[in-house]
Amino acid sequence: MDKRFAVILAAGKGTRMKSKLYKVLHPVCGKPMVEHVADEALKLSLAKLVTIVGHGAEDVKEQLGDRSEYALQEEQLGTAHAVKQAKSFLAQEKGTTIVICGDTPLLTAETMEAMLSEHQKHQAKVTILTARAEDPTGYGRIIRDETGAVVKIVEHKDANDAERQVNEINTGTYCFSNEDLFRVIEQVSNENAQGEYYLPDVIEILKNEGQTVAAYQTPQFEETLGVNDRIALSQAEQFMKRRINHQHMKNGVTLIDPENTYISPDAVIGEDTMIYPGTVIKGNVKIGADAIIGPNTEIVDSIIGDRTVIKQSVVCDSEVGVDVTIGPFAHIRPLSKIGDEVKIGNFVEIKKTVFGDRSKVSHLSYIGDAEVGTDVNLGCGSITVNYDGKNKFLTKIEDGAFIGCNSNLVAPVTVGKGAYVAAGSTVTEDVPQDALSIARARQVNKEDYVKNIHKK
Ligand code: UD1
Ligand code: CA
């Protein structure tokens, strides 16, 4: 196989987005467009990936990290000018260079492979990925001669009426013989409606040299959607959502209402897990088998074990074991590690806490900066008082302890193994193992007090 290289064009500002965020960083299903493109490109066994950056260069670099090399395009003079910036990385190489726009997030590696096979088959110098569009407005049009051979690409703004009737569009994805690309790109001029150096002009130049120009028309128009504005962004979101959700359903996950289920492209979900509507799964999430998630639940960058049930709750940057029940209306905040067979009930907030196996906190509690052992019962209204306005302190509740309702545990403090805390206590000192701590005022009953007031 020829050596393969890829160039992602990501230097444009994206004026039509009307946004502070650079176009290629706009997320589709929670993942920036340019990252979708890079991840698919990297499936093609590339020898090199070069991303052309300009507007928001630092942000794009941060997003892709060392997955790519970067060439800076200081002024955005057009797509051919953008590709030229990769010259020092690629011009001396022999092989095939794939050029992809950073704003086509739905393009798959399979479609790029199909284009590459076509390229190989025809021994072409360039192969264009084309598609038929219902509404080709805005796209470059593929102009073929009477034999059906591609002659050139005309940009929408430069096209005459007859050319605008053509609904076969340039998807902005191509593969080139690397040497020929960097040789002829020098000849591209900017004499056109936009005063830009157009990459598609390379096709006409190669054609006029008598080189083989090929086109691969994908039946998947959806994949080639170029996102230039927020309307296209919402369409991309719909298509991507459908693609992700179908994949999970094929893998054996039940989605009760896929249109109202939002799953990140990086999520992994086990068989027979059921997801109810209004569920949003963001970032790196792993959910086990036979779990029940939702309705109206948000899970971000977390691991959820088998058979765990999470209803109307938020789980963020945490790990949850197997056979756990969470919610309704619980909030598991970052850096929490919830063990197996745990019960976390309604209106409970947990933050940066290790919560041991079989422990329970069933109602109306805040447990933060804590280490809770196994088989602990935290009664309704248990609060860890973890913050003095400046610093956070640790609460330790050892195995088998029982915390009575409406208790404050003022950290730093430890409740020993098997100890009891009486309801309504405000515990400020450590409780020894197996002790009962009562930290509240004694009850005083004033006989006939009320009756006497009314007499006055
Ligand atoms: C481009 C194609 C068009 C095709 C369409 C497919 C050209 C001239 N036109 O048009 O034929 O139908 O894509 O979606 O190539 N960029 C740079 N530097 C620049 C200019 C652009 O890096 O100087 C990047 C942009 O960030 C973007 C990509 O190139 O990711 C495409 O540019 P864009 O302005 O969106 O081109 P289109 O008008 O959509
Ligand atoms: Ca575009």
Residue among 407, 453, 398, 405 nearest 431 (CA): 398
Tell me which residue range forms the domain holding 301: 256-437
pLDDT at 456 over 80: no
Residue 78 alpha carbon to ligand 2 centre in Å: 11
The tally of domains found in the chain comes to 2
Same structural domain for residues 299 and 176?
A: no
**pLDDT band at residue 411 using 50, 70 and 90 as cut-offs:** very high
Same structural domain for residues 285 and 345?
A: yes
Instruction: Identify the domain boundary among 205, 224, 243.
Output: 224
pLDDT at 100 over 80: yes
Same structural domain for residues 283 and 206?
A: no
Same structural domain for residues 165 and 284?
A: no
Decide: 275 and 257 in contact? Cβ < 8 Å.
no
* 3-state helix/strand/coil string of 360-415: EEEEEEEEECEEECCCCEECCCCEEECECCCCECCEEECCCCEECCCCEEECCEEE
Residue 411 among known ligand-binding residues: no
In a domain, 397, yes or no: yes
Q: At what angle do helices 109-122 and 33-41 cross, to 10 degrees?
A: 50
Residue 90 among known ligand-binding residues: no
What is the rounded CA–CA span in Å between residue 100 and residue 120?
18
Give residue-wise pLDDT tens across range 266-315: 999 999 999 999 999 999 999 999 999 999 999 999 999 999 999 999 99
Q: Is 323 in the pocket of ligand 1 (CB under 6 A)?
A: no
Residue 215 among known ligand-binding residues: no
- What is the DSSP code (8-state) at residue 113? H
| Closest ligand 1 atom to 52 CA | 22
Same structural domain for residues 19 and 92?
A: yes
Stretch 221-238: mean pLDDT: 95
pTM listed for this prediction: 0.91
Same structural domain for residues 269 and 200?
A: no
Stretch 391-417: mean pLDDT: 98
Stretch 118-137: mean pLDDT: 96
CA-proximal residue: ligand 1, atom 10 (nearest) = 139
| Residues annotated as part of the active site | 363
pLDDT at 87 over 80: yes
Same structural domain for residues 101 and 185?
A: yes
Residue 235 alpha carbon to ligand 2 centre in Å: 14
| Closest ligand 1 atom to 76 CA | 23
In a domain, 451, yes or no: no
Same structural domain for residues 197 and 295?
A: no
Q: At what angle do helices 33-41 and 57-64 cross, to 10 degrees?
A: 50
In a domain, 243, yes or no: no
Same structural domain for residues 145 and 268?
A: no
Give residue-wise pLDDT tens across range 38-82: 999 999 999 999 999 999 999 999 999 999 999 999 999 999 999
CATH code of the domain covering residue 31? 3.90.550.10
Q: Which residues pair with 286 in a beta bridge?
A: 268, 303
| Residues by chain with Cβ below 5 Å of ion ligand 2 | 103, 226, 228
Whole-Å CA distances, 390 to 230, 257, 339, 367, 387: 43, 46, 30, 18, 7
What is the rounded CA–CA span in Å between residue 33 and residue 54?
16
CATH code of the domain covering residue 362? 2.160.10.10
In a domain, 237, yes or no: no
Q: Which residues pair with 368 in a beta bridge?
A: 351
Same structural domain for residues 262 and 131?
A: no
**pLDDT band at residue 33 using 50, 70 and 90 as cut-offs:** very high
